[in-house]
Amino acid sequence: MTDTTHDTTLDTTNDVNTNEAVTYKNTMADTTCDTAHDTTLDTTTVNTNESVIIKYPLTKIANHGYSLTWFKMIFTYLLPPPNSKGQNNDDRFLLRRMCRLFHSALLPIPETETYVTFPHRRFATLQNLISHLNTKHKLKTALRASTKRKLTPRQRRRCSGGARKNNPINNACLERLNSFKRQHNIVNDSIPVGIVIEPGTYDSKTPNDDKTCNIPVTFPISIFAKDHATTIIKNLRFSINTTCITTNKQVCVKNLTFMDTNYASIFAKNTCSLLLANCHVLNCGTTGIILTNVGGSFDNDDECAILENCEVKLSKNNGLSISHASNVKIVGDKKTCIENNCTSQSKLDFGVSVDSSSTLRMSVEVQNTIQHNDGGGDFEHHRVLTI
């Protein structure tokens, strides 16, 4: 039996112990098998007179001598290759943890891209983990700014030949960098690209506090789980605000179910690139999803706010609210659903509300899944375009 790990080391900031680094280990599921094949695809076998009865034909593919070659070809069609911006690796990371066959058939995750799993031994709650990463990203941004200074033309000529060990300018920048790290107790300035939430129900409500916990997300990151049906988040709101972040970075929230929040479950503003995929939002105290000043251009998916196969149900006010010059695209199939919202019966609430400065694009099939909303009806739209 082999055990392959994907390690990520996070440094500690002011809110945690600074005497040691925090090490995260994402371990593949243990497989106990006689041969190197996928045990997750295998099913119960019955030995009868030294013969093996296989219940499902998919096991034949996994047990075949050419299984590795076949699955390499299968995954080339199922998963797009990682793009230049490091995206499309989230599903690859989850699949590689399932079994040895998938681990060998899929491309490895680059060493520069690390993931953190939750629950974690150093952070009791999800908000503590994300707050730690927010602080770390803020310090890293300040660190980069502290090492920059204007150079004279003579200094530029001295540095034009590349970094030299005895270059006094490079040595001065390095000294400022090390001084900043010592001042803020930074052990390692690497930041994970994703948080993998393990299956379970996570509720922030305490007996003495019935308010929804707000989790700010101020930097590009992927927060995802294996399946929305088994990963449920209660009384937690994601407030996404990545102001001053360049358009080549994306915030992704995937495969999660949000329930029983007093406010909007997802509130995103001032974010150029946003992806909400396979998210279910149920029983919100106000609007289910609020998008304010999000999305750049429809010409490039990396600069647009996209909702893919999302469900929003039983919100007290609007199901989806889009405002302040936002460009949003809703894609998917029959899994997309915005219905039974506006439970307050107010005529000012709608299933999908789009103000005059924003644009929403969707297909006719997706538009038909927005239905049965009370209050003012399914749409309050000024610029809703069908594609």
90-102 pLDDT, tens per residue?
A: 888 888 888 888 8
The Cα 159–Cα 168 span in angstroms is: 10
The Cα 249–Cα 335 span in angstroms is: 27
| Burial label, 112 (beta-carbon count in 10 A; 0-12, 13-18, 19+) | exposed
- Taking only the tens place, the pLDDT of each residue in 178-191 is 666 666 565 566 78
Please report the DSSP string for 55-92 in residue order.
S-THHHHHHSTTHHHHHHHHHHHHSPPP-TTS-S-HHH
Whether pLDDT at 348 is above 50: yes
Whether pLDDT at 137 is above 60: yes
- Taking only the tens place, the pLDDT of each residue in 311-335 is 999 999 999 999 998 999 999 877 8
At 88, the pLDDT band (50, 70, 90 cuts) reads low
Higher pLDDT, 204 or 271: 271
| 27: number of Cβ within 10 Å | 12
Taking a C-beta distance cutoff of 8 angstroms, is the pair 193, 114 a contact?
yes
Q: What is the mean pLDDT of residues 239-262?
A: 82
Whether pLDDT at 336 is above 60: yes
At 353, the pLDDT band (50, 70, 90 cuts) reads very high
The Cα 58–Cα 64 span in angstroms is: 10
What was the pLDDT predicted at 311? 95
At 65, the pLDDT band (50, 70, 90 cuts) reads low
**In percent, how much of the chain has pLDDT > 90?**
32
Q: What is the mean pLDDT of residues 218-247?
A: 86
At 171, the pLDDT band (50, 70, 90 cuts) reads low
What was the pLDDT predicted at 84? 46
What was the pLDDT predicted at 314? 93
Contacts for 368-371 with beta carbons within 8 Å, 24 or more apart? 369/334, 369/336, 369/337, 369/338, 369/339, 370/319, 370/337, 370/338, 370/339, 371/339
